[in-house]
Amino acid sequence: MCRHTHNAAARCKGTRLSNDEQTAIPRKLVSALLLSDPDLRDLVEEFVDGLSSRFDELRQASQKQDWDRLTQLAHQLKGAGGSYGYADLSDVAVKMEQAFRAHSAEQFAGWMAKLEELTAAARAGLQPD
């Protein structure tokens, strides 16, 4: 069993996509945090359930081209994704944050699509086998 740490470099095999698989989203994405501490299931479920509202906020800020808000939201998603054991969500948020700091959102639609796919996989990962 893998151990969760808050060190971004320490990832659990099976919970993060390899560089070769970055375009393929797994059907199920299991939280590294949940693997290390199943008692935190309610907390992880609450995080995953709240992702759609975070994405709505990102979309609204994007429509307004509110770079400060976009940067803040991406930064928060980066930290939360890692804390809740979803390294792949964090990886996308890192790219978003860097781009938003440079006032660029050219890949916004692609990032949002990937976040939605990762969220669906995270939801599937919370379902009993």
Each residue's pLDDT tens digit, 64-87 = 999 999 999 999 999 999 999 999
Q: pLDDT-based confidence at 24, cuts 50/70/90?
A: confident
Provide the b/e sequence for 61-94 (b: ≥16 CB within 10 Å).
bbeeeebebbbebbbebbebbbebbbbbbbbbbb
Q: pLDDT-based confidence at 26, cuts 50/70/90?
A: confident
- Domains of the chain with CATH codes: 28-126 (1.20.120)
* Model confidence pLDDT, tens digit, residues 39-55: 999 999 999 999 999 99
Mean pLDDT confidence for 22-50: 91
pTM over 0.85: no
Q: Which residues contact 1 (CB under 8 A, 6 or more apart)?
A: 35, 36
d(C-alpha 98, C-alpha 75), whole Å: 9
Q: pLDDT-based confidence at 23, cuts 50/70/90?
A: low
